[in-house]
Amino acid sequence: MKLSIVTTMYYSRNYLDEFYKRTLAVVKELDLSYEFVFIDDGSPDDSLMVALGLQNKDHNIKVVELSKNFGHQKAIMTGLQYAKGDFVFLIDCDLEEDPELLKEFWEVRGQDVDSVYGVQVKRKGGWFERVSGRLFYKIVNILSAVKYPADTLTARVMSRRYVDALLKFQEKELDLWSIFAIAGFKQISVNVKKGYKGLSTFTLKKKIKRAIEVITSFSHRPLYLTFIFGIISFVVALINVSLIAYDKFFLGVDVEGWASIMASVWLIGGMLFLVLGVFSIYLSKMFLEIKNRPLTIVRNVHTK
C-alpha cells in the first residue's frame, strides 16, 4: 500500500526540512511505502532548491515546478494529479498543521471511509478573524443547498477513488473546499488544534476575494436573491408612488418631490448596481470557463 504526501510550497523554505523529517517519521512508524509530491507554486524564495536538496537524499520525492504562482488551491489540484498512491495525505508544509496528524487520521480511517479531515477546535487569530470567519460560513451555508463545513484544515487523508472523483471536476474557477464537500463519499471529521506562526500570506484582500469566489462558485442562489430584491424594490416603489398619488389627488396635500424622488433614485439605483454586480461576477466566471485555459502550467517535473 502506497501513500502519497502532497504539499504546496510558497515561502516555505524555513519549514521544509522539519516538515519532511516529521512526516517521514510517521510514515515509517505506519510501515507504508510512500512518495512525497512537492508543488512549487512559483515561490519567490528558494523553496524549490531546498526541495531538490531533499530529493537528492530521498528518491521517493517528486518536485513539480509550476511556471508561476497560480494559487494554493490550483496548486493542490495539480499535486493530486501527480499523486499515484493508493491513499493521499494532503497537508500544508508550514507546520501550522502537525505532520503527526497523519497517524491520527490513519487510525480513524476505516475500510468504508474515503476521507478523514481536520477541523479546527478554535480559529486562530484575533477577534476580527474569528468573528468574520463564523459570519463567512453562515452566509455560505445560507446561500448554498450543500452544507459547507466550517473551519476545515487542508490536512486530510483521502482514498484513491475519492481523489479520482475530485479530479473529475474540470472547472477553472474552483473552490476546492466546495468540491471536497459535494464530491460525496463517506467522510469523517477530526477535531484538531491548528498552530499559528504569527504571520500569514493569506491577507484580508485574499480572504474577501475567496469569500466571493466560494459563494459564486458553490451556489447560484445569489441569482435568485437578485430576483427577490427586484420584486421587493418594485413593490416598495409602487407603494411609495401610490401613497404620493393618494395624498395629492384625494387629500389635496402638496407633496415635496425632491427628497422623495432622490431617495427613490438612490434606492433603486443601488439595487440595480447590486444586481448588475452579481450578474457580472457570474458572467465573468462563464467567460473564463469558456476560454478553457489550463488550471496550471507545469514548468518542470523533477524526479530521480
Predicted confidence (pLDDT) per residue in 187-196, tens digit: 888 888 776 6
Domain covering 2-203+295-302, topology: Spore Coat Polysaccharide Biosynthesis Protein SpsA; Chain A (3.90.550)
pLDDT tens for the 304 residues of the chain, in order: 689 999 999 998 899 999 999 999 999 998 899 999 999 998 998 999 999 999 999 999 999 999 998 888 889 999 999 999 999 999 998 888 889 999 889 888 877 888 888 888 766 656 666 666 666 666 666 666 667 677 788 888 999 999 999 898 877 777 787 788 888 888 888 888 776 655 555 555 666 666 666 666 665 666 666 666 666 766 776 677 677 677 666 766 665 666 566 656 666 666 676 667 666 666 766 666 676 677 788 888 888 7
Q: How far apart are the C-alpha atoms of 157 and 49, rounded to whole Å?
A: 27
Report the alpha-carbon distance of residue 108 to residue 169 in Å, rounded. Answer: 27
Report the candidate in 154, 158, 45, 123 with the shortest Cα–Cα distance to residue 16. Answer: 45
Instruction: Give the span between the Cα atoms of 66 and 42, in whole angstroms.
Output: 6
Q: Nearest 5 degrees, angle CA 97-CA 29-CA 54? A: 65
Assessment of whether the complete model's pTM goes beyond 0.75: no
Q: What is the CA radius of gyration of the chain?
A: 25
Residues 277, 169, 106: CA angle, nearest 5 degrees: 120
Report the pLDDT value the prediction gives residue 217, as an integer from 0 to 100: 63
